[in-house]
Amino acid sequence: HFMNPVYMKPSIEVIRGYLTSDETVEKAQSFLKQLDKDAIVVNDQTGFVSNRISHLFMNESAWVVMDGVATPKQVDDIFKKCFGHTMGPLETADLIGLDTVLHSLNVLYEEYQDPKFRCCPLLKKM
């Protein structure tokens, strides 16, 4: 599972499916090494590790903006300047595509039935 922007990310989230053999994982790791990428192997689950966590940041950031607590720039600046992220969550959502973020949040909500994955109305309007 490559992250955007791919050229800036040194690592790749590799999803090990229930029936994925060790040999297949090793081949994926070898291929990624040829691309100068580190493989982080995790087990398969809806949303993977990366989307389950990152999409919460994006969604909550939209809530913060909608509630008038901060501007989009302020939210992104906190992530970049205080947390050391290359991009803020709203910049990342824009890069990925808001339609993709909304779809992913809906899939996560349907799978886990957890209100934390309920889409912020502002994301739907953007």
Average pLDDT over residues 82-99: 95
Tell me what pLDDT residue 81 has: 98
CATH 1.10.1040.50 fits 50-125, yes or no: yes
| Predicted structure pTM score | 0.85
What ranges do the domains of the chain cover?
A: 6-43, 50-125
Tell me what pLDDT residue 80 has: 98
Average pLDDT over residues 73-98: 96
How does residue 37 score in pLDDT terms, banded at 50, 70 and 90?
very high
Q: Check if 103 is active-site.
A: no
pLDDT at 75 over 90: yes
Residues 35-52: b if buried by 16+ CB within 10 A, e if exposed: eebebeeeeeeebbebbb
Q: Which of 1, 55, 85, 103 is catalytic?
A: 1
How does residue 14 score in pLDDT terms, banded at 50, 70 and 90?
very high
